[in-house]
Structure 1
Amino acid sequence: MYRIMRNAWIDTTRARSRHGQTFVDEEAGLAVGDAGDKQIEAVVELGNVGRAMQSLPADQREAIALVLVEGFAYKEAAEILGVPMGTLTSRLVRGREALMTKLGEAA
């Protein structure tokens, strides 16, 4: 009987020490992980922008990609596309308006 009681006491002591090593306070667990809602929203919004860009005519899409995405100056983008600066500007204006309309519908 003594041996059984001794083994039960050892098992209980080991369990308590493992419990302290395995489990932490609830407050410490609150900081673990990320809800991910902001990341999910960003992915969805990026998909919306991509679909809106694909729906634009090719000339507007190219102008927006060069100026707004790649960061080229208007003059450089006009040279790359081989169009006058006024043409590039009008494509940008129409493209931006179309994007804002399409993205407004997606929201």
Structure 2
Amino acid sequence: MARLWRYGLLLSRQRHVAEDLVQATCVRALERGGQFESGTRMDRWLMSILHSIWVNEVRARRVHQGQGVVDADQALSFDGEQAAHTHVRAAQVIRRVEALPEAQRETVFLAYVEGLSYREVADVLQVPIGTVMSRLAAARLKLAEYPPLHTVPNPSTGERR
């Protein structure tokens, strides 16, 4: 469920929409449980369902309603010094990935965050594997254009992390 929610949040950029996506995914999976092929990975099947729902229903509604995005600083909250450093760097990475075109952002998430193979990403997104490879290559090139991530000085030693 957490993986579905993260994927829903990536697509929708809104917590409540992500929750609705996960709920709709679960309902559709229960309704169409007979379509699940034994021996395949259920998480990949559920992500495909979530993606299909997003493409067919939620994206059109979001465009019409003009809803906003989740602020990376609000989406991540950590305690402690090390966690604060991690938060700063993670927020920087999230902002950079959020700036990618939607197709690249979605592909990066599935391949690099969820760890899906290129074939699995292609299946979830219902595109050829070459398209996945092309999107990832373009995303890597775009992300490489950014300057190095900012480091945060340690207040006690002045060392940068």
Q: Which has the higher helix share?
A: 1
Q: Which runs of 5+ in 2 are unaligned?
A: 1-79, 151-161
Counterpart in the other structure of 1:80: 124
The SS at the match of 1:96 is: helix
Alignment partners' CA distance in 1, 2:122 and 2:89: 29
| 1:1-107 equivalent positions in 2, closer than 5 A | 36=81, 38-102=82-146, 104=147, 106-107=149-150
Alignment partners' CA distance in 1, 2:135 and 2:103: 7
Alignment partners' CA distance in 2, 1:105 and 1:71: 24
Q: Which amino acid counterpart does residue 137 of structure 2 have in structure 1? A: V
Displacement after TM superposition at 1:101 (Å): 2.3
The SS at the match of 1:56 is: coil
- How many pairs align? 71
TM-score by length of 2: 0.41
Alignment partners' CA distance in 2, 1:59 and 1:83: 11
Q: Deviations over 1:71-100 (max 9, x none)?
A: 111001001111111111010011122123
Identity %: 35
Alignment partners' CA distance in 1, 2:108 and 2:144: 12
Backbone CA RMSD of aligned residues: 1.6
Q: Stretches of 4+ moved more than 3 A in 1?
A: none
Q: Which runs of 5+ in 1 are unaligned?
A: 1-34
Alignment partners' CA distance in 1, 2:132 and 2:108: 9
Q: Deviations over 1:8-43 (max 9, x none)?
A: xxxxxxxxxxxxxxxxxxxxxxxxxxx82x332211
Relative contact order (C-alpha < 8 Å, sep 6+): which is higher?
Answer: 1
Q: Deviations over 1:45-78 (max 9, x none)?
A: 0000110111000010011000000011100100
Point out the structure with max Rg over C-alpha.
Answer: 1
